[in-house]
Structure 1
Amino acid sequence: MVRENKDNSATIFISIASYRDPELLPTLQDMLRHAAHPENLHIAICWQDNEERNIFEQAGLEPAGSRTVAANKVFAYRYHQARIDVVSVHYYASRGACWARNLAEALFDNESYFLQIDSHCRFVPNWDEEMISMLQQLRVTSSLPMISSYPPAFTPGENEEASKSTYVSRLIFREYNKEGIPMLSSTPFEATAPIRGSYLAGGFIFTDGGYVRSIPNDPQIFFAGEEIAMAVRAFTHGYDIYHPHKPLLWHYYQRKEHNKIWGDHTNQAKDDGVVEKAWWEWDHVSKKRVRTLLGLESENAASLAPYILGNRRSLRQFEYQAGIYLKNGTVLPEVMGPELTSFFPAPPSDEKAWFDRQYAYHKKTITLNASEYSTIEQDMNDLHLSVYNGQNVLLYKRTLGIEELKTLRKKSPDDGLALSIEFKTASTVHPTVVRVCPWSTESGWGAVTEKAW
């Protein structure tokens, strides 16, 4: 049953995972300052920090008791009429982003709408009304619409307002990582209405509240793979993803000066007994679960219950829509071409022809340091670059002349020589090694330098 407040305004459940983030409180303050109806907001925060909760009261949040939910202590606050619940855990006890999101989702109280964000955001005026209005308009074309994107960027500080970018972007396929998991990127677009997409962003999801019940975050997914896992689960449960055509909020990217879990949950921290596992151990389990969900492991995806695919649409239908073939690690040419297509509205009429058009794309930049190239420049006529797979089969080759090398040298950082490699193969072979060798008409072939792919 959908709960609405006494003035008949729809309520919003807001899930925030925050890891040692000094931007959490500024995010809350900005969110509530710009909300049209702060009284309708229920904000659930998984706060992974040092458990010194006095910072909330110092910021003006009024304590409203505590309770236990799913074996976790929850501290309640009121702030600018909003209801705020905080699950407080020490950062050494964290198990990653989706684990934290899952803990926050346990506090869902049948609100009308669901918003998932990161803890370093800023918001447009009346963002709550704007999001609800946009979602309602999408119901003309979708019974289960969802709004998601990488929000435009901002940088906190004195020039915060001026730093807020005005572009909007849509999510696109970037590459398969070494585990065969699709990784995403984005590209700007201009439109007068939201556009359809295939991928969602973990840092901004807005949809109906029922989403929390039907597609909760898998707490064993650490970080990488979160977005493709949630995208295929949402799709197979019948949700349609749209990218907003105007800014609704901003996101602080990079945050190099802020603490991250991989900087805390190290091998040394494990040896010292302060964490159960190093971050990469959680990450290993996580990626295996994502691979299982995507049908890339021998285990049946049903073993991941309840964090499984839906039965409204199939994984193959998702592949058709996104233009990717997960098993082979390939994509359609349009996906990587100038169009950067991420949404194909109709399935292929000829599946074999669709398979035949798939390619594996490989992209990498290697850097030769000064000792690896300076001794060969004097009498070199050109530089030969070759890429091989694990069976020593040549996949790609390229010859760079002296003038091209001089241009690259000027553009390369420090004393290195950066060589960009990009090619595609029709088969599922994977690059393993890059070999670089100079050629001189006077002295012939020089020494071979090898770099791992």
Structure 2
Amino acid sequence: MIYVQIAAYRDPELIPTLEDCISKAKYKNDLTFGICWQSDSEDRRLDEWKTRSNFRIDEVPWQESKGLCWARSRIQKMYEGESFTLQLDSHHRFEKEWDRKLLSDLESIGSRKPILTTYAGVYDPPTNTKAGNDPFKMVADRFTPSGTILFRPHLIPNWRDLTGPIRARFVSGHYFFTIGQHCEEYAYDPNLYFAGDEISLSIRSYTLGYDLFHPHRTLVWHEYTRKGRVKHWDDHTTANKELVGAAWHERDVVSKKRLRKLLKEEENEVELGRYGLGSVRSHRDYEIYAGINFADRLLHNDTIAGKEPPSTFSTEAEWARQFARNYSLTYSWQPTDVLLADDLQFVYFGIEDANGKVLHRHDAPYDSLEALGSVRERQVQFLAGSSPARLVVWPVSRSQGWMKKTVYSL
């Protein structure tokens, strides 16, 4: 049996997701669903689905909702011992016999506590068009000022040659398949709001002894744009505080403080209790495996490059040298240095270190540059393992190609 967990907030895609999930499954009778349906009286009703014995539906007026992790916490409590569990959002499409294939891939890993997870493929709801079959891995992009980590989907380049899943550093909240035991061992923290859910799910699952893997083939697609549906933060505003109790940004402040305590980014008065780390592996074990220094908010070069974990190093000194740092700087240039041709196509702005290694690149189309006049500025944020030393401004014209470049010291 597979327990399918879906947290849905006023989403018109919920029922199409359920229909596609069931119709594409091989073992339809082995699916049970736990749904937290946070809705308004005008949203589509789930009366038909309530009558089905394999559906457990927790209906909540949208005004009473306290965020994504709060909803997922409620869904966990409806778990009834199913062998496996699949956590989704409420906007997905599925490959034919997705359940059989997921079970086969999970078994092929050979781990006692495996997790299959990634950012799912992309689909478009109006047309149901799926944007290819190339599977994604999750790559860390950077730390945010509040202490969370932003992830980006990167294509697995050699996926056609793979015969099984690959190791992962991070997990996706919207595509997470594992043994049902996870519902009992991992208690969702209802005080987490939205941002930070995935890094919390990653490190807590890892320290509970779970092994993380990305699927080597695409079986599930996800809608990423959020078009056509109301988001929690659209409703839970300061203007609606009398209805909702707290604005979304107030819950978010509390949430991120809890996350920073969990990740050991700061010491504060938060008591995590049962929502803390596991005891099978340590916080340091995860840092070494994933290539992260939480206290200094640094990412290992292997982590940024998206190499398969664990991170590689032989000594603590080497470990320290392999971290990239967050840089935030403003660079400026003279428009007269770039407006040199009538057929200018774009201008290359490259930030380099002292050895000429490109740390950050931005190709600015000609029509995005302003006319001659005062000095222009641009603010950028990027990760790099070496210090920025110079800015290279290099125009490209249609007739002449790469033209004369100008170098500024930083």
Question: Residue type matched to 2:368 in 1?
Answer: S
Tell me if structure 2 keeps the 8 A contact 1:408–1:418: no
1:297 equivalent to 2:238? Answer no
**Equivalent in 218, 223, 236 of residue 265 of structure 1:** 236
CA displacement at 1:153 relative to structure 2: 0.4
1:285 matched residue in structure 2: 254
With normalisation by structure 2, the TM-score equals: 0.81
Tell me if structure 2 keeps the 8 A contact 1:409–1:417: no
1:39 equivalent to 2:29? Answer yes
CA displacement at 1:52 relative to structure 2: 6.2
**Equivalent in 121, 124, 145 of residue 95 of structure 2:** 124
Q: Deviations over 1:347-384 (max 9, x none)?
A: x43113212332313368x899xxxx9xx7469999xx
CA displacement at 1:336 relative to structure 2: 2.7
CA displacement at 1:95 relative to structure 2: 0.9
1:29 matched residue in structure 2: 19
CA displacement at 1:300 relative to structure 2: 7.5
Tell me if structure 1 keeps the 8 A contact 2:36–2:58: yes
Distance 1:144 1:380, change over 3 A: closer
1:173 equivalent to 2:144? Answer no
Tell me if structure 2 keeps the 8 A contact 1:51–1:89: no
**Equivalent in 210, 221, 226 of residue 255 of structure 1:** 226
1:212 equivalent to 2:183? Answer yes
SS at match of 2:139: strand
User: Quick one: distance in 2 between partners of 1:349 and 1:150?
Assistant: 31
1:344 equivalent to 2:332? Answer no
1:361 equivalent to 2:326? Answer yes
User: Quick one: distance in 1 between partners of 2:338 and 2:95?
Assistant: 58
Distance 1:288 1:90, change over 3 A: same
User: Quick one: distance in 2 between partners of 1:276 and 1:342?
Assistant: 44
Indicate the RMSD between aligned Cα atoms, in angstroms: 3.3
User: Quick one: distance in 1 between partners of 2:369 and 2:182?
Assistant: 47
2:207 matched residue in structure 1: 236
Question: Structure 2 unaligned runs (5+)?
Answer: 341-348, 355-360, 388-410
Distance 1:206 1:257, change over 3 A: same
Tell me if structure 1 keeps the 8 A contact 2:290–2:311: no
CA displacement at 1:143 relative to structure 2: 1.6
User: Quick one: distance in 1 between partners of 2:26 and 2:131?
Assistant: 21
**Alignment identity in percent?**
31
Q: Report the count of equivalent residues.
A: 367
CA displacement at 1:53 relative to structure 2: 8.2
SS at match of 2:225: coil
Distance 1:150 1:363, change over 3 A: farther
TM alignment of 1:6-17, pairs within 5 A? 11-17=1-7
User: Quick one: distance in 2 between partners of 1:409 and 1:152?
Assistant: 29
SS at match of 2:173: coil
Tell me if structure 2 keeps the 8 A contact 1:412–1:418: no
